[in-house]
Amino acid sequence: MADNLSKYRAKRDFKKTSEPSGEAQVKPSNRRRFVIQKHDATRLHYDLRLELDGVFKSWAVTKGPSLDPNDKRLAVEVEDHPLDYGDFEGTIPKGQYGGGTVMLWDRGYWEPEGRKSPEEALKKGDFKFTLQGKRLHGSLVLVRMRNDRDGGKRTNWLLIKHHDDYSVEENGAKILEENATSVASGRSMEQIAEGKGRKPRPFMMANADVEADAVWDSKHGLAADERKKRSRKDIATFTAADLPDLIAPQLCETLARPPAGDDWLHEIKFDGYRIQMRVAQGKVTLKTRKGLDWTAKYPEIADAASELPDCIIDGEICALDDNGAPDFAALQAALSEGKTGNLVYFAFDLLFDGGEDLRSMRLVERKKRLEDFLAAGSDDPRIRYVDHFESGGDAVLRSACKLSLEGIVSKQMDAPYQSGRTDTWAKSRWAEGSIFIKVEAALANHPKPASSRQSGYCHWSGTGSLRLRVLPNVISASR
Ligand code: MN
């Protein structure tokens, strides 16, 4: 008994590194506490931390929580964090794990829902709970995604709001924009980054005195220890055999005109080299359609991809001309001169996410997974998500022509990924003599996607005119 207790204490004797005070202690509480920290690291995300069994169970919610029950937010499970971290607001030095600015965005209390204990619900991967925070209230669920448990480096969950008095029908992320300051200090991210303004009021700790310019040393403490343990375990249990070496790519049939019907989506046809990207434990291979290993030809892209979790992605490597349009001659020149630093990998399909084979999933779901996967995994401009139109194939093709693009690829939204030539992917090229439609380039006031990636090409407004989302370095407005 005494031994158990000492282990319990030893485990919870978290090293406090932001402050030398040493006096602060976590306040006992008979209600379970939660905090949400807005964290401007490699990618902006919101860390949801729920107190359970003396630690914070933690998830990095890539786009932040939404109040709209239709939004499913990717929540990447991260290691348990010590309770005193729940009062931290300040900076983590660049170069350290999670380097960047941390804001206390919300905090309060939570309760589990249903008859299962929270430990059982978490184990089962279906965890319902109610928040009583300053900003977030009501019922939510975390659902663990299938087969993610042992396959990849990360365990992915979806955070979903339940319908209740606090849910909304649209604009579920508005709460994030409307609350841009700290719940603990009232400061903006900029003020926190500068170490200026008011100190955060403590919530977790008694006698706490967190300075306005606090710095967290992520190389020490429980989270860092957990991280070390995990990465050793990953190396021991991972087998690259979980990921196929090469999946024969899906190919297009050729049509004179894009297929009609609203069960098709349309992507820009890229004039480059089709390349399958495979990442296993940070080791990247880039293979051609026929399976030739061309990794060495694209060292910068391989390097950029090495930070991604294990995956297989289908895409195309392109060079972009001065106007930002794909240029095949420029690609050949770059390869022959070995000047490959400006080439871009346009990712359009996700075939494996960790050990999970996604090929039987609907295309639109795979693309959503890919978008979230890249948003969470990399912010290197050499790897870009390919956006699509969801209607108006003919109009898309005409505008592609107007932009001097080669053509478009139309894909059936509900189709699985099938190797070889199929009738669920179709390419159509611009034909001489067709009639241009008027293209409205709504450049100035088109809302940027939340992730702000320079990836998509255009957006079909669905109301009769084609609106182009022209993005820096991709396609210039003047064409
Ligand atoms: Mn974080």
**377 alpha carbon – ligand 1 mean position (Å):** 13
**Domain ranges within the chain, ordered by starting residue:** 14-235, 250-467
Mean per-residue pLDDT of the chain? 79
Question: Six-digit token pair at 67?
Answer: 């109040």
Helices then strands, counting H and E runs in the chain, come out as 10, 24
Among 224, 221, 200, CA closest to 211? 200
Beta-bridge partner residues of 442: none
pTM for this entry: 0.48
User: What is the C-alpha to C-alpha distance for residues 286 and 284, in angstroms, rounded to an integer?
Assistant: 7
What would the pLDDT profile of 26-42 be if each residue is shown by its tens digit? Answer: 888 889 999 999 999 87
| Residue 245: burial class (beta carbons within 10 Å; 0-12, 13-18, 19+) | middle
**340 alpha carbon – ligand 1 mean position (Å):** 33
What would the pLDDT profile of 225-252 be if each residue is shown by its tens digit? Answer: 655 554 444 433 445 556 899 999 999 9
Whether the Cβ atoms of residue 367 and residue 358 lie closer than 8 Å to each other: no
What would the pLDDT profile of 363-400 be if each residue is shown by its tens digit? Answer: 999 999 999 899 888 778 899 999 888 877 777 777 77
| Residue 360: burial class (beta carbons within 10 Å; 0-12, 13-18, 19+) | exposed
User: What is the distance between the terminal CA atoms of the chain, rounded to a whole angstrom?
Assistant: 76
pLDDT tens for the chain, 479 residues long, are 333 323 323 333 333 333 333 346 888 888 999 999 999 987 899 999 999 999 999 999 999 999 999 999 999 998 888 898 899 999 888 777 778 899 999 999 999 999 999 999 999 999 999 999 999 999 999 999 875 444 555 789 999 999 999 999 999 999 999 999 999 999 999 999 988 888 898 899 887 667 778 887 766 665 666 555 544 444 334 455 568 999 999 999 888 888 888 889 999 888 899 999 999 988 999 999 989 999 999 999 999 999 888 899 999 999 988 877 888 999 999 999 999 999 999 999 999 988 888 999 999 999 999 998 998 887 788 999 998 888 777 777 777 777 667 788 999 999 999 999 888 999 987 653 332 222 323 222 233 333 332 333 333 333 333 333 333 223 322 22
**343 alpha carbon – ligand 1 mean position (Å):** 30
**179 alpha carbon – ligand 1 mean position (Å):** 18
**67 alpha carbon – ligand 1 mean position (Å):** 21
**374 alpha carbon – ligand 1 mean position (Å):** 16
Integer CA distances (angstroms), 393 to 32, 256, 427, 463, in order: 53, 12, 11, 14
User: What is the C-alpha to C-alpha distance for residues 235 and 143, in angstroms, rounded to an integer?
Assistant: 26
Superfamily per CATH, domain 250-467: DNA ligase/mRNA capping enzyme (3.30.470.30)
Whether the Cβ atoms of residue 277 and residue 312 lie closer than 8 Å to each other: yes
**Residue 17 CB partners (closer than 8 Å, separation 6+):** 216, 217, 220, 221
Catalytic residue among 269, 287, 297, 411: 269
**41 alpha carbon – ligand 1 mean position (Å):** 7
Q: Is 411 a catalytic residue?
A: no
Write down the residue that tokens 């919610």 correspond to. Answer: 61
